[in-house]
Structure 1
């Protein structure tokens, strides 16, 4: 069941935990496909998973792999809460799969993207470190190394969360273009070759949306806390086009109170001195230079058109231009990358002395080209790479400050941002903790509206540039909800 073309039947009787069941299975078969039914007759021959919760509280899970079936049962109260029934079923499924596959997912039963948020909540509830670690170990079956990482990340994050301004909002600006599409990429991004003719109209529409959002922010007397330019690769556009967009931000928002202004310079083959000077001149103090790896052979495999040396030169250029807060992104587990090659990349990046380093783990998404060869990554040494990165970065003064997990990640690992003290990205923490309203502008951007009681509403912009341009006026009609939210966040009580 490691072949991404396989379809394993999942039989569900007496419950509706489709998402939870699939998420647990993905811990063991991260590129497999599944079919779901409520027909017991499907639990015959081949590989299958049978799950049932009976009316008298009996929970039954049976897994058949390679013709060999194993069944486990337990009993829950008839009036058990939904979350308890879900936990009982998923734990049985998890324990059977550990035995049958020999795989022991390091994050245990945790399938959510924000394990640190769970730790933060428990700390705020007054639980001790020992209680939290015990809960993660015995209830969720998380390994000691991952418990330690999650707890340390939460501790480093808390002082920043305590300073969050829930009455403010952050701004995300989307420039969804790249020189080429990397094989691992699942973001909505478009190559410059195909998008070049849309660029003038796209930038015009984006600047109009920034003007509309700016007017809403002023009318509701809302402070903008952080600004983040993402993509794609924002520096895919020309220096002149980048200036136009950043001037629209400067014109329509009060930058004097902004605590953090970040631009993902991203791919080294898009970084020029002229673009860097535009970014710095127009107020952004934090940038990312993202080589992903310094191994030239791996860069070719993933579809990058630059070398490792190009990445080093881009980083040094940013320093010469005057940037004193630079992040670099690396990916553990890229195709053909060895553990030694990754270690070499990480060591060389540490020598460059960036203020923060983010270590992602390869995620094989269906929308990425790499998904078609997903089964080839089963023996990927990503875990060795991640195991090296944690103590190495911490020994050089880089502390974990934010983390998230994704489905279909190699070895069920995680993405972690490390930073020197005082250089943690506020925006990255806010987006992961869901504790501040974020206004999204541009194609594929998402606006996240935070209401009293941590209720969240999302407004999604159109995914593709031609849709965004064509349906711009219709999209702007949704801004009424933004106005209502910004009026209400002034009454949100701090935690």
Structure 2
């Protein structure tokens, strides 16, 4: 628990980009427990001084900060000095010129990762590289966003609106317009989707007829000759029906997600879900009867009032139901979530429990034949851990791998979508955002298409 009366004063000398240092400090201390002072060139006896030698090496400064805060607090975060979203990408950069053993040595000695986390990202990168390599230069990933949900979960910070059916129907013409524009522009530019991922929100908030219209637009306007994977997040079990699943199957969707988050009834009630554990079982049975290639399930470690036994019970039941691709998320207390308003320090309080949940999940999934295939981190996660996707052999989600690897253009459609244009010559990305508010998206749909036209389709990507 945060002690509002206790505060460490920290001064980092000769380094101006303090935001990345603040991210590291947050892993040791809640924001109310420290004050980051401006570097005025003076040494103050009451402050913890970092980088008095004036180093310009960011990692060297972070190592000093990590060591001193670890000594003060007694904590040693598993991810060492790493604070970024994509640690697997770093592992790949290191392994491009090093052996596996050397990469592990660098990650543990230079970046202060525990052996467990170093092995996790090295193994994850090796899996990705050995199975998929780099994407073809004339392929892209396509994301289509449906920003609606039946209810808003306690931890949610995504574009998720609870609206009447008439508002969802009002969204459809704008979305179909952007799909048709993008598909035709892709053909003109001679690029094809390698993956298509329809997320949200909850895409199955749409009716079967609306899903059919959307998927028909995708099929008729995009060249699907290079398509390797077509995913829809069915997400909420209370939105899944046989007719919706049949529409997806008939349009070539091979992979769906059914996301329980928990199989404990009390937890589902606490987080704002409007379905029961029994509804989750029924949704899985229905999806299996329709015959999808892969069914993913998302689970969250660290949900309110849950202990390790609760989480283990959820994991066991999801494996028993037949999920062959399971993503273990660490609960994050995000700025736009209701949980942030209830308890802004929640992620500190459950850190030890979450660490145990993640370790046991990795052991259980390994014993079941599921391997880690993608991983990312977020700010304000419980224990500052990670989200990891596990899968059976050949059941990866390629879209997830590509978007985390950041070596392929992702074209994002719908309200809240952010396209990321990849430039191979500089290894950089340029973001092209759509507006998040669905009503503005409807009113400004021509502008959303023009943004893609001006910044991607009429530009030469070198």
TM range (shorter): over 0.9
1:474 aligned partner: 447
2:431 aligned partner: 458
Cα pair distance change 1:5/1:155, threshold 3 Å = farther
Deviation at 1:49, TM superposition (A): 3.7
Cα pair distance change 1:70/1:326, threshold 3 Å = same
2:17 is aligned with 1:17: yes
Deviation at 1:13, TM superposition (A): 5.2
Counterpart-to-counterpart distance in 2, 1:6 and 1:279: 55
Counterpart-to-counterpart distance in 1, 2:34 and 2:83: 23
C-alpha offsets along residues 221-246 of structure 1, whole Å, 9 cap, x if unaligned?
A: 21211100000110011111111111
RMSD: 2.4
1:48 aligned partner: 35
1:183 aligned partner: 154
Secondary structure of 1:190's counterpart equals coil
Secondary structure of 1:169's counterpart equals strand
Counterpart-to-counterpart distance in 1, 2:345 and 2:441: 35
Secondary structure of 1:342's counterpart equals helix
TM-score w.r.t. structure 1 length? 0.87
Gap regions ≥5 residues in structure 2: none
Conserved 8 A contact 2:50-2:64: yes
2:283 aligned partner: 314
2:87 aligned partner: 115
Cα pair distance change 1:315/1:8, threshold 3 Å = farther
Secondary structure of 1:456's counterpart equals strand
Cα pair distance change 1:7/1:191, threshold 3 Å = farther
Conserved 8 A contact 1:61-1:73: no
Cα pair distance change 1:290/1:6, threshold 3 Å = farther
Conserved 8 A contact 1:171-1:440: yes
1:335 aligned partner: 304
2:348 aligned partner: 378
Counterpart-to-counterpart distance in 2, 1:421 and 1:280: 22
1:430 aligned partner: 402
TM-score w.r.t. structure 2 length? 0.93
Counterpart-to-counterpart distance in 1, 2:163 and 2:264: 24
Deviation at 1:395, TM superposition (A): 1.4
Counterpart-to-counterpart distance in 2, 1:223 and 1:12: 48
C-alpha offsets along residues 169-193 of structure 1, whole Å, 9 cap, x if unaligned?
A: 1110000111010000111111134
Q: 1:354 aligns with which of 315, 319, 323?
A: 323
1:172 aligned partner: 143
Q: Residues 287-326 of structure 1: matches in 2 within 5 Å? A: 287-326=256-295
Secondary structure of 1:467's counterpart equals helix
Q: 2:121 aligns with which of 129, 150, 156?
A: 150
Counterpart-to-counterpart distance in 1, 2:441 and 2:4: 33
